[in-house]
Each structure stands twice: as structure tokens, then as C-alpha cells.
Chain A
């Protein structure tokens, strides 16, 4: 896998790399992107990745089947740490999803045309990540087949409804709305591209399948007019939505009285962390994708550099939040908050905390250097480190606060089990599987939006 390509020539100092490679026309851009889907020759690496991820997906199924048979006791959760890996992974996955909506909605409203090459697969990433996230609270209930009564407003046999004053129920609404809106956004973006695939298909079966998915789209100016309105409205709706989702997730913690959770700055801190890890995931997916499929003309160094800059900015906000956490512990002069700070630095899990500082604060500082921002390999590695760091952050928040609350007599340790690891690993396999199926069967780059970037697409007066 050639991650660091010769194709990536840096332009002279002071000139930024282009958003789209030179010499592209409407026809070549269409053929190039549609070609990944319509080709008869599926690359070998695709089969290799899918085979491995199907195997890991099997581990996930085994872990969940065993969980349903034996109960959540197979995980390391107990009193006092009842949340453990399930909630750590839930928050981690849902955070990863955030970059997709940020790229597709917020950057669209700000007319950042560089978003166009990466929005489609970032949206797919969002949907697949939210799917993994949703799995954890569901299986954490132990009996997911009854979860509908606990999560959705359906009364049980006693006529009792979910508690709408609880952030946990807000979370159900936030995450399910987020999934639905992301899916709609992704879906309507795909319609014109399915029409392109229908019209470029060489066999009848392929033409029929994409024809049905395209729903008769014909590119009429009247249709485009309504389509663009709906697209912009969805972007406007998704913008406050994406900010609300991780804010609501953070309220699961912040509205409790547990030391280390009971703080008002959790919502912005969580949103910044979500975007930080989300952009890291965009880089983890984009860098191999462009190298393996030779898409350097569409996902250029400019995209990678911009993602790195967003990571740097949000990483600094996250670093500020870590400092503020410590400061607030001291400033509150509350013995339990001070004990929480002490526990972070000197407690049994302090190693996790220092690893978190290394991964999330120190190593991302390398992104200040243009050399790092312009090297796909270096960016890939930094993004992987950040992903680990963001997972550790959630571990620190969930486990280290629950582990030692107000009464030393109720303190305890949390030891995760092999089933915790298997479930986390399994969701990574499931995510990779979904993502590779997506790039094989759907256009991973938005073809119709790429066309609008080309000079020949503009009307000359």
C-alpha cells in the first residue's frame, strides 16, 4: 500500500495545492469516479479488506450472541463502574460521526468548495459510525428486544412511559434524529449520482438496479431548483442538529453530580472533541482510499491539509478543556473535585490519563508544520494517534469518575474483559466492512458536485 505517493508534488511556497487536479473535464471526472463502481475488475485489495472485516464482523456477532446468552456480566462492568466500555465506545463512535455532517452541512453553508470531494464518503462514515454507536447502548441494556419500551415513547404493560426529564431519553431522540437526517442528506445527494451510474451502466441488470435507486431522476432544471432548496435547507437543519447531538451526549454526564462529570463546559468540550476525532477518521479513510484508487486528482493535498488544520484547531480546544478541567477542580475548592484531579494524576488509571495527554495534546502539535500537513503518511499516523487519544479521553471520563465517587467504601476498580475488547474490535470490522461495500457499490465522491467545481461548468456571459 503506497501511502506516500509520488503524485503528491507540493507546489512552490506560498501557493496552495488545487482543490481538483488539472486537465479534468465533465466527462473524465464522471468516468473516473463512476468507474470505481462500474468496473468489471474489482481490485484484489478490496476482496482482502472485505474478507478480513467479515472475519472481524464474525467476532462481533459471536460477542453479542454470547452477551445475549449470558448477560452483561461477561463484560467488566459492575458496581461502581456500570458504564464501562459500552458507553466509552458509544461516545467514541458517535463523535467520529460528527465530521461527516460538519463537512457536508456546515462547510456547505460557508461555501467551502473543497468540501465537495470528501463530503460523500464523510457522510457515509457518519452513518456507519452512528450505527456502531447505537449498537452499544442497545446491547448494554442486556435485553435489546425489550429496549423499545425503555428507549422509545411506548408504554410498558404497567402503562409507564420513558422519563422525558432524563438526558438519556434526550439522547435517544438526538441520536435517532441525527441518524435519520444524516441518512436523508446522504440519500438525496446520491440520487443524481445514481442517475449517472444508470446512464453509464453497460449491462441491463446494473442499469435496472441503479435506475430504481435513481427513481427516475433526469436532471430537469425544475427538479434541480427544488433539489438545491431542499439540500440547503437540510444543511441548515443539520448544522444546529450536529451541535446538539454531542451536547446532549455530554449532558448524560454533566447533569449528574458525579465529580468530574458535573461541569457546565461539557457540551462545547464534547462537540470539539467529536469534530477532532471525526476529522481524524476522515483522514484515516481518505488517505488509503485516494492512494488505493488513485484519486489524488480529486482528494488533493489541499483537502488533507485543510482536514489537518481543522484537527489542529479543535485539538487546541480539547487541550484547553483538559486544562480547564484541572483548573475547575482546583478553583471549586470542593474536596471531591480535588480528589478527582488527584485521582487523574496519581490514581490507578493515571497511565491512561498521561497517554491521553500525549495522544491528544502533544503529538497533534506536529500539525503546526507544513511538512507534516503535506505528508499523507504522517497525517495518517497522527490521525490514528488522535483516534486512540479520543478513545482514551472517553475512558478517562467514564471510568475514572465512576471508579471513585464520594465514599471511599464504595470505591472499586474496573477491569475490562476479552469480550469488551472483542465487541470494540468487532464494531471496527463492521464499520470497515460497511465502508468498503459502500465504495464498491456507490460513488464515493459526489460526481454532480465535482462537476460544479470544473471551469467548464460555469456559464460565460
Chain B
């Protein structure tokens, strides 16, 4: 046991089945401050650590609404208030011809909100994260699967959590320094 504070304990698995098995068990044992690291999106891993819903769809909807309202208001204001021009006898507020731009603005707002909302919720860009200090963590973007139980979890103890993780056939359990 080290005297230095650590970020958590990281267990390495060489297949997704073992990872999901261990993650489910850890969740069942009451651990909540934990995360799984996988080289590709693994729905089962997110489910196992208790991640189900996120707020990206809501943010996207807000972005779409803002884009839609912004696009239409701009067209209305320009065509009917700022500089009304009689084009082919059409009314100044000729709403059917405002629809294409409104649609494009809604899609633009939604797409920007989806991407930047996702990045913001994920806390990216993030230049430093302690989990990168762990040995062999570069394989998390290649072919290995990791489960990290963080030291902030009330149930965490270096000794007993390590023993707990050892039960689930990890290839390695290591302490993650800050």
C-alpha cells in the first residue's frame, strides 16, 4: 500500500465479456464511482456501470429550436421590416419561401449542439487525465478492456477492492497514480 493518494484501481481484461462480467459485479457490490474503457463503443459496458441515458438529445433539440427560430426570424425581419422589397407581387411575409432556409438553420443548430454538447458533457478537450498514467493503458484504444474503480468511491479500499477485482480474471490490476 502506497502513501501517495491514488486515482483508483485499474483492471485490465483481454475480452469484452470479462469486462462486462466484472463491471456488473462491481456495480452489484455497491461501487458507483467507476468507469470502463473500451476500444470501441460497447453498450453492455455502459449498461453494466449504470449509464443509461444522457442529455445529448435534449441539447440537440434545443439547438434545433434555436436554429429554426433564428433562421425564420432573420428572414422575416430582413424581408418584412429591415428592407421590404416587392418581389413578383409576393407578400413581404411570404412564409412558404422562408421554409428551406428555416429547415437548414434548424439542422445546422441541431448538429452543432449535438457535437459540442457531447464534447462539453464529456469534458473534452481534456489534456490530462490520471488514467493515462496506468501501465499499458495505451491498449485501451487498441484491443484491451479496462475497468477503473475510483478512489473517491465510499466503498473503495486499496486492499479489498484489489482483491475484489482479482476475482474476475483480469490480466493485471494496477494502481493509477495522479
Q: Which A186-212 residues have C-beta < 8 A from chain B?
A: 187-188, 191-192, 195-196, 198-200
B interface residues (Cβ-Cβ under 8 A, vs A):
15-17, 20, 35-46, 49, 51, 54, 56-57, 60, 71, 74-75, 78-79, 82-83, 85, 87-88, 90, 94, 97-98, 100-101, 103-105, 107-108, 110-112, 114-115, 117-119, 121-122, 124-129, 131-132, 137-143
Give Cα distance in the complex from A196 to B17, angstroms.
22
Nearest-neighbour CB distance to chain B for A24, whole angstroms, equals 11
Extra contacts besides A184-B115, A226-B56 (19): CB < 8 Å? A161-B83, A164-B75, A164-B98, A165-B90, A165-B94, A173-B100, A173-B104, A187-B115, A188-B118, A196-B142, A199-B142, A216-B124, A216-B125, A216-B129, A222-B51, A222-B122, A225-B51, A237-B111, A248-B100
When C-beta atoms are compared, the residue in chain A nearest to B101 turns out to be A173
Asked if A451 is an interface residue, CB under 8 A from chain B, the answer is yes
The 4 closest A-B pairs by CB, nearest first: A215-B125, A26-B143, A216-B126, A199-B138
As a 0/1 sequence over residues 148 to 179 of chain A, the CB contacts with chain B under 8 angstroms (1 = contact) are 00000101000111111101011001100100
| A165–B46 alpha-carbon span in the complex (Å) | 48
Is the CB of A25 closer than 8 A to any CB of chain B? yes
Segment 206-238 of A: residues with Cβ below 8 Å from B: 215-230, 233-234, 237-238
A215 contacts across to B, CB distance below 8 A = 119, 124-126
Partner of A163, one of B85, B104, B122: B85
Residue from A27, A180, A220, A237 within 8 A of B142 (CB atoms): A27
Do B20 and A459 have beta carbons less than 8 Å apart? yes
Give the one of A170, A220, A458, A460 with max B CB within 10 A: A220
Task: List, in ascending order, chain A residues with CB within 8 A of B103's CB.
Answer: 240, 244
A200 touches B101 (CB 8 A): no
Contact B42 A221 (CB under 8 A): yes
> In the docked arrangement, what's the CA distance between A184 and B107, Å?
12
CB atoms of B42 and A224 under 8 A apart: yes
Question: In the complex, A248→B16 CA distance in Å?
Answer: 46
Q: Are B87 and A184 in contact (CB under 8 A)?
A: no
A448-B114 in contact (CB<8A): no
A225 to B37, CA, bound (A): 12
Contacts of A199 in B (CB 8 A): 138-142
Find out whether the CB atom of B49 lies under 8 angstroms from the CB atom of A30. no
The answer to whether A457 and B104 touch (CB under 8 A), given A159-B82, A218-B131, is no
Instruction: Give residues in A with beta carbon < 8 Å to B.
Output: 25-27, 30, 153, 155, 159-165, 167, 169-170, 173-174, 177, 180-181, 184-185, 187-188, 191-192, 195-196, 198-200, 215-230, 233-234, 237-238, 240-241, 244, 248, 251, 448-449, 451-452, 456-460
Contact indicator B105/A219 (Cβ below 8 Å): no
Secondary structure dominating the interface of B: helix
Measured between C-beta atoms, what is the minimum distance from B103 to chain A in Å?
A: 6
Question: Which residues of the other chain, B, contact A188 by a CB distance below 8 angstroms?
Answer: 115, 118
- The answer to whether B129 and A177 have CB atoms under 8 Å apart is no
Bound together, the chains give a CA A408 to CA B173 distance in angstroms of 85
Contact: A448 with B126, CB < 8 Å?
Answer: no
Given contacts A164-B97, A173-B100, whether A230 and B115 have CB atoms under 8 Å apart is yes
Partner of B41, one of A153, A165, A228: A228
Given A30-B143, A216-B125, A457-B40; A227-B118 close (CB under 8 Å) = yes
Query: How many Å from the CB of A267 to the closest CB on chain B?
Result: 11
Residues of the B chain whose Cβ atoms lie less than 8 Å from the Cβ of A229: 54, 56-57, 118
Which residues of chain A come closer than 8 Å to B74, judged between CB atoms?
153
Cβ-defined contact, B49 with A221, below 8 A: yes
Most chain B CB atoms below 10 A, which of A163, A181, A222: A222
A234 to B85, CA, bound (A): 37
Chain B hits for A191, CB < 8 A: 124
Contact B37 A219 (CB under 8 A): yes
Q: Which residue of B lies closest to A188 (CB)?
A: B115
The CA-CA distance from A353 to B88 in the complex, in Å, is 34
CA distance A451 to B145 in the complex (A): 13
Cα A163 to Cα B75 in complex, Å, equals 9
Q: Are A459 and B100 in contact (CB under 8 A)?
A: no
* A243 vs chain B, min Cβ distance (A): 11
Task: Given A161-B83, A221-B36, A233-B60, answer yes or no on A180-B78 (Cβ-Cβ < 8 Å).
Answer: no
Of the A-B pairs whose beta carbons lie under 8 Å apart in the complex, a sample of 24, sorted by A's number, is: A26-B142, A27-B142, A161-B82, A164-B79, A165-B97, A170-B104, A173-B104, A177-B105, A181-B107, A184-B111, A185-B111, A216-B128, A216-B129, A217-B141, A219-B141, A226-B122, A230-B56, A230-B118, A233-B56, A240-B103, A241-B104, A244-B104, A448-B41, A457-B40
